Amino acid sequence: MTYTCTLNTQAGDMRAAAENDALTGLWFVGQKHYPIYPIDRAEWTDQPDHPVFVMLREWLSEYFCGNIPAYSVKLAPKGTDFQKSVWDALADIPYGQTVSYKDIADRVSCLSPRAVGGAVGRNPISILIPCHRVIGSGGGLTGYAGGTDKKAALLKIEGRS
């Protein structure tokens, strides 16, 4: 069973999904790769008071206040082994720092920053798996499934201009 709820955040409305005791998805409503209904969401049950979402709301509240949350939310993103290796590398990017797609490609021993970019773009757990911290090799804000305006806003919260 997948539980879900909609969250209102400072960066826009987000949809969260959880299974058992772990967060499996957090998307900006309408973003690229947003789950399609009814195919992807047929088995979803709205349960905003699920314990994962209670913890997630607290985590996001701390984050949007500009603080590094002192605890973590258990994550269980679904994807290929390659995607998961990229998402693990994203999770290691420290708060307030950025890296390039090439940096991530080097970390996961992939010769193609473009392939890494595809995996980054399919990250199913925005913000907590910080794909917004990946920028172009020239330092510019490149694509972001939620939109580059949201990427810029998240980086600004973390003290990056």
Residue 26 burial class via C-beta count within 10 angstroms: exposed 0-12, middle 13-18, buried 19 and up: buried
Cis-peptide, bond into residue 38, ω within 30° of zero: yes
* Among 5, 65, 110, 131, the one annotated catalytic: 131
110 is catalytic: no
Do 8 and 113 meet the contact criterion of CB atoms below 8 Å apart?
Answer: no
Pairing state between β 2-9 and 12-19? antiparallel
Instruction: Enumerate the active-site residues.
Output: 131
